[in-house]
Amino acid sequence: MPARRPTRMVSDAVLGVVALAVGALLLWHGAISDRGGVMGLIESVLPWFGILIVLFAIVAATRRSAFIAIGALVSAIVWAALYVPVITPHRSTGNTDFTVISENVDADNTNPANTVESIAARHPQVIALQELTADSAAAASKTLDAAYPHHYVVGTVGVWSSLPLSNAHSLTLGLGWKRALSVDVQTDAGPVRVYALHAASLRPGEFAQRDEMLSTLAATLRRDDSSRLIAVGDFNAASTDRAFRQLLDTVNEPGTSQWGFGFTWPARFPVARVDHVVERGLHVVSNVVLPPNGSDHRPIQVGLGRDD
């Protein structure tokens, strides 16, 4: 029996270091080089590392190990400092001048008309849809054109509005095909430049196109001298992803108005928020994730007003 004690102590010490490393990763993940898009995937699920911390805490209690307990406690403090402010609802006051709903409607959606109808039933002034196919684009037009006579569609991305649109442009954002657009919406808050996009996918070994789009979008927003603008859509990147965070040098991502992280994908059991709205020069009154409606993404709804 005495011969086993050193082995147990080494094991506890190693587990304690690993538990502490979870907190270090949460703090300094951006310093780790991304190879093959692996760090992008890890950064997309960083909030879920809280489960690892809880598991380490259980192991520490079971084994009565101070080594593991200290590592778990430090990492828990780091997690709480980073994410408790995120999951707490962000309340705001003020008038909503216009509302935007955005959703990736899913190219494999078997009933896109129902999905679009559920959005229209909420009567937003602006609707941004991504991953449109020929069938879903036709269903969207049939459902929306009467109440939303102003629309602009580029490839698989479209914007429908009950408010006048102008200055519409298609955007490639560094790719060889069009997956984004910009358009000016004439709102009660004044003209608002709206960027709608569907970023390329993030998969192991396939991340360069997604990163190129988000990098080009960041540069585009930086050059844009509009006093009020938003960018909305499926960014295929979580808020914790370094490719997404570069956008925040020039625009703001509002917190959600609900408890939780506001995850949007996959719809049945969301694990990451890949659908976003970022803004500049506007006041965000509300920012909520809506219930599933037939797509593999959940829609987001944002109420916006003047930034006085």
pLDDT in tens, 111-164: 999 999 999 999 999 999 999 999 999 999 999 999 999 999 999 999 999 999
pLDDT in tens, 190-224: 999 999 999 998 876 678 899 999 999 999 999 99
Residue-range domain boundaries for the chain: 2-87, 98-306
Q: Residue 1's pLDDT band (boundaries 50, 70, 90)? A: very low
Distance CA 184, CA 166 (A): 5
Give the pairing type, strands 190-198 and 229-234: parallel
Q: Which fold has domain 98-306?
A: Deoxyribonuclease I; Chain A (3.60.10)
* Angle subtended by helix axes 5-28 and 49-63, to nearest 10: 160
pLDDT in tens, 21-69: 999 999 999 999 887 778 888 999 999 999 999 999 999 999 999 999 9
Q: Is the pTM of this model over 0.85?
A: yes
